[in-house]
Amino acid sequence: MAQNFDNHVRLVPAFHLFALPILGINVIWSIVRAAQSFRADSVFSALVALALAVLALYARLFALTVQDRVIRLEMRLRLQQALPADLRPRIPELAAGQLIALRFAGDAELPALVRKVLDEKLADRKAIKKLIQNWQPDLLRA
Which domain covers residue 98, as residue numbers? 83-137
Q: Are 100 and 124 in contact, with CB atoms under 8 Å apart?
A: no
73 located within any domain: no
Q: What is the pLDDT of residue 8?
A: 86
| Residues 62 and 31 grouped into a single domain | yes
* pLDDT one-digit tens code per residue, 41-98: 999 999 999 999 999 999 999 999 999 999 999 999 999 999 999 999 999 999 999 9
Query: Which residues, other chains included, contact 76 with Cβ-Cβ below 8 Å and sequence gap of 6+?
Result: 91, 99
DSSP state of 134: S
| Residues 121 and 92 grouped into a single domain | yes
Backbone φ/ψ region at 37: left (φ over 0), alpha (ψ -120 to 50), beta: beta
* pTM strictly above 0.85: no
Report how many domains make up the chain: 2
Q: What is the pLDDT of residue 9?
A: 84
| Residues 91 and 50 grouped into a single domain | no
